[in-house]
Structure 1
Amino acid sequence: MELKRRHLLLGASALTLASLSSHAWATKADDNLSFLVLGDWGDEAVEADQTAVADAMAKVAEQQAVTFIISTGDNFYEAGVSNIKDPKWTSTFEAIYKAPALQLPWYAVLGNHDHKGNVDAELEYGSVDPRWNMPSTYYTMSKSVGSKTADFFFLDTEVLIQNGMITEWFGWAKADQLKWLEQKLAASTADWKIVAGHHPLFSGGAHGDNKELIRILKPLFVRYGVNAYLCGHDHDLEALSDNGVSYFVSGGGSKGRPVKHHAKSLFSRSEPGFLLMELSANGSNATFYGRDAKPLYSEKLAS
């Protein structure tokens, strides 16, 4: 019953988004839409690096009029959270991202470390801190960019990477999520389609390419004109390109790990940091920043 309840929460996403209009941070449609992308951040063992990245995020958020933040998973190490009162919520989220410029909606997905804990607690934490948005294990939202629109699709890739000998539940959940994603992508008429998940399809980092995600997601991205895929998992910063789709690994929320050059790579860096994305009718850009708030790399987003 618990698993079914999680999927019933999908319908709650529209209500959650609608409720944002009552908060101070709700914004009117504008000609530009700026947001930050951060992954693999909730690690008390490297608090100094996490705090430095958070301070840099606050500077960029204020300068660039950022309106929300996407978390690409592994929100809490090493094994997620136990409940909505787990002290990690305070020590690695609220006490770190406390700057006024970061009091924005956070749209989060689950990572493999989150799945080791109480997933329902991450789904329910928005009742404690309204910044936190995870209405279900996978969900959508839409944003206006002047007269244009951007659709966002948030995935639970820990379920999608399962292959070979998988349990009956994982097999069902994987097929259900893929069917949902294709239906949502096919129905979208947005000017930008952006997908976020935890695991990369392509990466020069420690985990490398994920053959299963390439097999099941790449054809959907190409067929339905996805502009960008945002992820973490590898603790580095990477920009890659394949078949007209931009792939960004933003897994430097708390520490960096070695990264090798990838055949599809445009940029890679082994250090803590985050990604700024700016959507505009006049051109869209993605820029990686380091923990000192200085830009490391920028590119125009595929359109």
Structure 2
Amino acid sequence: MMGNGRDRPSWAFTLLIQVSLCIALYIAFYLGSPQRSGNGTRRALDLYFLSVRVGHRPSNQQTQLLKQMEKVAKIHKVKFVVNVSEFGKDDPLLLNGTLHFPSLKIPWYTTRASEGQEIGYFLKQITLPHEQMLDIIGIDTGSLHGSLHMKQPSDTGSDQLHWLMKTLAATDSKWRIVVGYHPLVVCEERKHAMEATKIYDPLHHIFLKYGVNAYLSKQGCTGHYTLNEGIAYIGNPGNTDENQNGFLLHRVTPLEIVSYYINSANEVVFKSKLHQRGREAM
């Protein structure tokens, strides 16, 4: 009986410790859960999309690239793909991706460089989870490419510029991304190196006036990313650029767009961040 009496305080003390730990764990969980829930909610409200440039890739490289894209699309629940191409809907990457890879059977918005043979520009408006709009505006740089070194565009290019201004003036989306095949930077070779001389002024002035946030294209002489007067010029490398075989993952939030270039080794080669800005020039 004496032994049992001595055990009671020990048992009660152990129970008290366990109850105290449970209460402390509950308080910690209760206090911590709003922060975790808040971060999770913000992440859930982010929109992800991919952009890729095909280039002249062998079929085995295309297959590898599509497998990588599908894996990333599954993880981030990617909503669409921007395909920087000169072939339009005849692009082999688009055809193979939407045919053979289930997670890539999502909308593909594909550029075209038709040099005036047909209309190659479009507007796609995407509703963002945070009650905002994202404009994806494709332009046909084939009709503009020949005039990149000149101050004035051709007649076909002028028609497209008028369409672009009219389209931008009629929308009020928070994020506006213009997509074309050719980069808008004129480059010249100086002392055995390619150097940028100027950005194609007609389009750059339109971007400034109507609050365009970014221009997506194939990679030019300026590299992956150039920020000019608040406008991001983002280049998609092809397999001939630095021998890379990859794509861009873009995360759109209410305040910024973050872009990650993922190479064939599933490594993030570079990361760029574009903050939302006002449209003071409008």
What is the TM-score when the length of structure 2 is the normalising length? 0.69
Provide closer, same or farther for how the CA distance between residues 183 and 233 of structure 1 changes in structure 2, counting only shifts above 3 A. same
Q: Equivalents in 2 of 1:203, 1:52: separation in Å?
A: 32
CA shift at 1:53, angstroms? 1.6
Q: Within 5 Å, which residues of 2 pair with 1:1-303?
A: 31-41=45-55, 43=56, 46-75=58-87, 89=92, 92-95=93-96, 98-111=100-113, 136-145=119-128, 146-163=130-147, 171-202=154-185, 209=196, 211=198, 214-232=200-218, 234=220, 238-252=224-238, 255-258=239-242, 271-281=244-254, 283-303=256-276
1:56 and 1:292 in contact (8 A); partners too? no
Moved over 4 A (4+): 203-211, 233-237
Deviations 1:162-200 (A, max 9, x none): 23999xxx8321111011111222232111011000111
Query: Secondary structure of the equivalent of 1:217?
Result: helix
Where does residue 267 of structure 1 map in the other structure? none
2:255 and 2:275 in contact (8 A); partners too? no
Higher relative contact order (CA 8 A, sep 6+): 1
| Count of residues in Structure 1 that have an aligned counterpart in Structure 2 | 225
* Larger-gyration structure (1/2): 2
Q: Equivalents in 2 of 1:244, 1:65: separation in Å?
A: 29
Structure 1 letter corresponding to 2:251: E
Query: Secondary structure of the equivalent of 2:165?
Result: helix
Q: Equivalents in 2 of 1:242, 1:203: separation in Å?
A: 14
Q: Equivalents in 2 of 1:300, 1:217: separation in Å?
A: 22
CA shift at 1:51, angstroms? 2.0
Structure 2 letter corresponding to 1:292: A
1:228 and 1:247 in contact (8 A); partners too? yes
Provide closer, same or farther for how the CA distance between residues 38 and 165 of structure 1 changes in structure 2, counting only shifts above 3 A. closer
Q: CA RMSD in A?
A: 3.3
CA shift at 1:73, angstroms? 1.3
Structure 2 residue ranges without an equivalent (≥5): 1-43, 277-282
Where does residue 34 of structure 2 map in the other structure? none
CA shift at 1:110, angstroms? 0.9
Query: Secondary structure of the equivalent of 2:272?
Result: strand
Structure 2 letter corresponding to 1:94: L
1:236 and 1:271 in contact (8 A); partners too? no
Structure 2 letter corresponding to 1:105: P
What is the TM-score when the length of structure 1 is the normalising length? 0.64
Structure 1 letter corresponding to 2:54: D
Where does residue 14 of structure 1 map in the other structure? none
Structure 1 residue ranges without an equivalent (≥5): 1-29, 82-87, 121-135, 259-269
1:151 and 1:194 in contact (8 A); partners too? yes
Q: Which segment is superposed worse, 146-155 or 293-302?
A: 293-302
Q: Equivalents in 2 of 1:248, 1:64: separation in Å?
A: 21
Q: Equivalents in 2 of 1:52, 1:237: separation in Å?
A: 24
1:197 and 1:231 in contact (8 A); partners too? yes
Provide closer, same or farther for how the CA distance between residues 193 and 201 of structure 1 changes in structure 2, counting only shifts above 3 A. same
What is the percent sequence identity of the aligned residues?
25
2:115 and 2:141 in contact (8 A); partners too? no
1:202 and 1:240 in contact (8 A); partners too? no
Where does residue 10 of structure 2 map in the other structure? none
CA shift at 1:63, angstroms? 0.8
1:152 and 1:196 in contact (8 A); partners too? yes
1:194 and 1:226 in contact (8 A); partners too? yes
More helix by share: 2
Q: Equivalents in 2 of 1:283, 1:302: separation in Å?
A: 4
CA shift at 1:208, angstroms? 6.5
CA shift at 1:271, angstroms? 1.4
Query: Secondary structure of the equivalent of 1:179?
Result: helix
